[in-house]
Every structure is written in structure tokens, then in C-alpha cells.
Amino acid sequence: MAQTAELLRRLDGIATIRRGDNRAQLVTAALLAGEGQLTSSGAFAVTTGTHTGRSPKDKFIVRDALTAPHVWWDNAGAIAPEHFDLLLADMLEHARGRDLYLEELGAGADPAFHFAVDVVTETAWHALFIRNLLRDRAAEVAMHATILQLPSFVADPARHGTRSGTVIALDMSRNIVLIGGSAYAGEIKKAVFSLINFHAPLRGIFPMHCSANIGEGADTALFFGLSGTGKTTLSSDAARPLIGDDEHLWSDGGVANIEGGCYAKTAHLSPLAEPEIFGATQTFGTVLENVVLGGDGEPDFADLRLTENTRAAYSIEVLGAVAPAGVGDQPKTVVFLTADAFGVLPPIARLTPEQAVEHFLAGYTAKVAGTERGITEPTATFSACFGAPFMSHHPRVYGDLFAERLAASGATVWLINTGWIGGAYGVGKRIDIAATRRLVAAALSGELAETPMRTDPNFGFTIPLAVAGLPKRLLDPRANWPDAQAYDAAAARLVKLFEDNARRLEQPRAVAAE
């Protein structure tokens, strides 16, 4: 805490720092500075320039006595302490004479592991963004961190040891994060998560990149999934209050939301399919990132000329059904979401605890043709623990924590495919969202506990033979392909991709517990 307090003291001596503004004051300041514009409903729309997404290759962790034995360096860029110190000094000099914004916030609804987070930003809208995303600070804190974000600062690779002019540098020993050269606000959010992902496992707490909600019987459910798999959409359910949208901790006390807000994708957002998220985008103080506005001031969620990664950042409080304390009991159900563009995986399958850990380590989904330049056919994507860029330890450290929590809770794990059936992308069709919602409801309600199952010959998990209200044929992906042998060949290819990815994770790992 002394290190972060010293950083703020140094900033106070060279810059003008505004602190304690409410949302209305931040919106007003952002408007006066020309940082964006209001929508017809009062949301604040901004553009982020060159960077419309994260820059994972420009993210570095200081390699020192604390981090050296723990960080999975094959997955993380290293920066020397002396380079970090030069970067900090130069960013402080860059801040001299500027007007800055300070948000004194907290992360983590678990009282046993609450992070105090001071965020210093160059613009009012970034301050508004992180105020929406984090929560009020608790009286008792486990750790203290400071994030300095200056988009106008350009790093010097020769001087600072960076890859480019963009930098996200994390000093885990002092809990200081420096962000320069990027106005994409998601870097601030994920910097907080990255800090917690390093420190929580050292205390035996399992950090998770997932959403969570809770049913009438206090039954907690977790939803893991990479971007585009439906994690936010499927966990936003008026009948099940939301614990949190994206980041959680699982400890002996249960599940706790890390954040106090949501950072939802808005591409093709529909008021019919996603009413809760759509309603949040119409709320005063919500930040719309790279969303194009029409002449009437209305956001056009179908206009993706700036980026497909359009986003809305809003306080969780604007949603209709929210778990007020941001906490839940030990999970009863865990759902893995994947958008399988190969058309191989079934719409739903039950996993054993051992299979669950392996699928967690795989973190599988598939990109489809047209989503990125050069992709002309479905491409498998494996992101360990459903969030590899933010996981500083070796994936099996998190896998071991997951296995321990599953064993202690007895939670049932389901794999749900929100992707294609009847063929790969371009041949088959996307599984209907209404059918997926029905499958999720069946998994969470426990109605499938005694349902007859068959064992999948390719992956070994079990698949229900029937789910009330859905055609039986839907549950058998092979039966939906016009050519069963073509399905078998596609399934064999996907199995091999899983096996190849698993071998990549077999290297030795550091011990995570102190």
C-alpha cells in the first residue's frame, strides 16, 4: 500500500487531480472536453482511435523475485524492473501539468479478498468507464493497487523495453499498472483482473473469467465462455438475478463478483433477444465504446464500421435482476459455452469432473470465416481457462483450484454448444437461441439428473437422449449432418486439435501456493 500511496503523492505534486466526481459530473466534464457525445437516451458514446481492442502482445509483467517462480512466462511478456522504473518516471513526467481524474474504487465482493484500486486517467470518460465497471471500496482491504492510464503517452521500445509505443506493464510486487498508447478502456478493466489472477491463487482462491447468476433456491450457476459464445446473453436472465457479468472469485465462502458492472458486446444487439443488455445501453452514464450513432442520436448496433468489438460499459445496478451483495453460495451448476463452428459438438453434454477440468484447460471455441482477415474456414481457438491472456500462472494451477472446488461443491458441469449443427459454418446452421435457452434452463433446474444418456464415442462425455420441448434429433449432431461419414471425419479432426492443445500444456509448472 505504501508504494501505491507514494505514486499518488508524486502525481499530486505535479498534476491537477480531480477526485470524487459522480457520474453526472464526469459526463459533464467529458462533454466539455469534447471526448464524446450523448445519445438520445443519455448514454455517452466515445471512439477509441487506433486501438479498438486489447493489445496482448504489448502487455508485460515485471520479472522479479516474486513473479519469477510463479508466472507462466511462455504466455507472458517480461519486463525488467529497471525498464519499468524508467517507464514510470517518464509517464510521471508526461503527466506534469495535466488535468487528471482519480477514481478510488474497489474490486471483489468477497470481504476476505477485497482489492482497493486507485485509477488515474487522462480523460473523464475513462474515469466514468471504470466507475461503472468497479465497485465502492470496502472499509477493510486485502491489497491496494494503482493504475495510471495515459493514452497520449507513447513508449520508446529502446528505452522502456517494450514492443511498440503501446504498453500495459504490471508490477505485481508493488501492484502498480502503467497503461500508455491505447485509449481502449478494456485495458483498465483487464489490468485489475490480471492483478487478482496473480495474487488470488497464492491465497488458495480461484479467480474465474466467467459470469454467474443465482436461482430462487439460492442455486448458483457459473457460465464460462470465450467471446461470441453467449456468456453475457445466457447469464442475463430476469428469473435468475445476476451475481456478475465477467469476473469472479470462488473461495471457501462461495462465489463473489470481482466487479460492479458489465462490459457487454453490442454488435447486432437486439431488444428482443437481449432485453436486459439493450435496456442498459439506454441508461444515463453508460459508456458506449465505438458504437456508431445515427443522425437522431440513437445508437446503431448493426453499424460495425469502426470495429466488430463494440461495447457498452454500465453499472450492474441498472439491470432489473441483480444479486445485491454480488455474492452467491457454492455453485450447483457450471456451464461451459462454446460456439463450435465445425458443427461437431452436441448442443448439450454432461462432463465428469475430470473431463470438466480438461475442457476448462482447453477453453475451446471456434472462429468463423470473415471474422478476421485471412480466415476462410472455421478455425479452432483454445484459450486456457477461458481467459489465457489474463492468467499469469500456468493453466494447471488454475485447473487444480477448479478441481478442488468442484470436488468440494459437488457441482454438475455441462458443455453447451451455441455454434453450428448439421454441418460446419457455411453449410450447417447456427443453433437457435431459444433452443439454447431451453437447454440452459434444463441444466440449471436439475431436470436432466435422471434423464437417460448416451456416451459420445469421440469425446466420452454423455448426452441426454431427450429434453422436453425440443426435438430429439437436435441432440445428436451426427444425425443432423447429411453425410454421416463427413461428420466422423470432422469429429476426428476436432479430437486431434484437442489432443494437440493438451500436449502444449504438459510442461512443468511452478507451485502456486505460498
Write the pLDDT tens digit of every residue in 334-378: 999 999 999 999 999 999 999 999 999 999 999 764 444 344 467
Higher pLDDT, 367 or 152: 152
Grid coordinates representing 81? 524492473
Q: Lowest mean pLDDT of 20-34, 271-285, 371-385, name the range.
A: 371-385
Quick one: how far is CA 318 from the chain centroid? 20
Mark residue 427 as left, alpha or beta (left: phi above 0; alpha: psi -120 to 50; beta: remaining).
alpha
Query: For 63-68, what is the mean pLDDT?
Result: 98
d(CA 405, CA 384): 18
265 is a catalytic site residue: no
Task: HSE, CB side, 13 Å, CA atoms: give it for residue 317.
Answer: 12
- As a CATH number, domain 265-318 is 2.170.8.10
Task: HSE, CB side, 13 Å, CA atoms: give it for residue 397.
Answer: 27
Looking at residue 514, its pLDDT comes to 38
Q: CB of 176 within 8 A of CB of 145?
A: yes
* DSSP-derived secondary structure for 173-230: TTTEEEEES---THHHHHHHHHHHHHHTGGGT-EEEEEEEEE-TT--EEEEEE-TTSS
Work out the mean pLDDT of the chain and round it to a whole number: 93
Catalytic residue among 118, 171, 246, 456: 246
Query: For 376-398, what is the mean pLDDT?
Result: 90
d(CA 473, CA 471): 5
57 is a catalytic site residue: no
φ, ψ dihedrals at 37, nearest 5°: -145, 155
Q: Is the pLDDT of residue 202 over 90?
A: yes
Mark residue 204 as left, alpha or beta (left: phi above 0; alpha: psi -120 to 50; beta: remaining).
left
d(CA 303, CA 47): 14
367 is a catalytic site residue: no
156 is a catalytic site residue: no
Looking at residue 112, its pLDDT comes to 86
Q: Is the pLDDT of residue 512 over 80?
A: no
d(CA 288, CA 396): 36
| DSSP 8-state assignment for residue 478 | H
**Structural domain boundaries in the chain:** 2-15+22-35+54-204, 265-318, 330-504
- Tallying the residues shown for the chain, one arrives at 514
Q: Among residues of the chain, what percentage have pLDDT more than 90?
A: 84
* DSSP-derived secondary structure for 239-271: TB-EEESSEEEEETTEEEES-SEEEEE-TT--T
In the block, which residue shows the cell 486485502? 142
Which residues pair with residue 267 across a beta bridge? none
For the chain, state the CA radius of gyration: 23
Q: Are domains 2-15+22-35+54-204 and 330-504 of this chain identical in fold?
A: no
209 is a catalytic site residue: yes
Grid coordinates representing 351? 462432463
* DSSP-derived secondary structure for 291-338: PPB-TTS-B-TT--SS-S--EEEEEGGGSSSB-TTSEE-SEEEEEEEE
d(CA 133, CA 141): 18
Topology (CATH) of 330-504? Phosphoenolpyruvate Carboxykinase; domain 3 (3.90.228)
Grid coordinates representing 409? 461443491
Catalytic residue among 114, 131, 160, 209: 209
| Cα–Cα distance list, 379 to 87, 424, 512 (Å) | 38, 11, 32
Grid coordinates representing 413? 458441469
Looking at residue 498, its pLDDT comes to 96
Catalytic residue among 52, 166, 232, 266: 232
d(CA 201, CA 194): 12
Q: Is the pTM of this model over 0.85?
A: yes
Q: Lowest mean pLDDT of 198-212, 223-237, 285-299, 346-360, name the range.
A: 223-237
Query: For 300-319, what is the mean pLDDT?
Result: 94
The H helix count followed by the E strand count for the chain is: 13, 28
Q: Among residues of the chain, what percentage have pLDDT more than 70?
A: 96
54 is a catalytic site residue: yes
Catalytic residue among 39, 52, 54, 194: 54
3-state secondary structure of 55: coil
- As a CATH number, domain 2-15+22-35+54-204 is 3.40.449.10
Task: HSE, CB side, 13 Å, CA atoms: give it for residue 41.
Answer: 15
Q: Is the pLDDT of residue 506 over 80?
A: no
What's the start-to-end Cα distance of the chain, in Å?
20
Catalytic residue among 137, 240, 265, 311: 311
Catalytic residue among 41, 227, 307, 381: 227
Query: For 139-156, what is the mean pLDDT?
Result: 96
248 is a catalytic site residue: no
232 is a catalytic site residue: yes
Q: Is the pLDDT of residue 1 over 90?
A: no
Catalytic residue among 51, 83, 190, 438: 190
In the block, which residue shows the cell 480523460? 123
Catalytic residue among 63, 114, 126, 231: 231
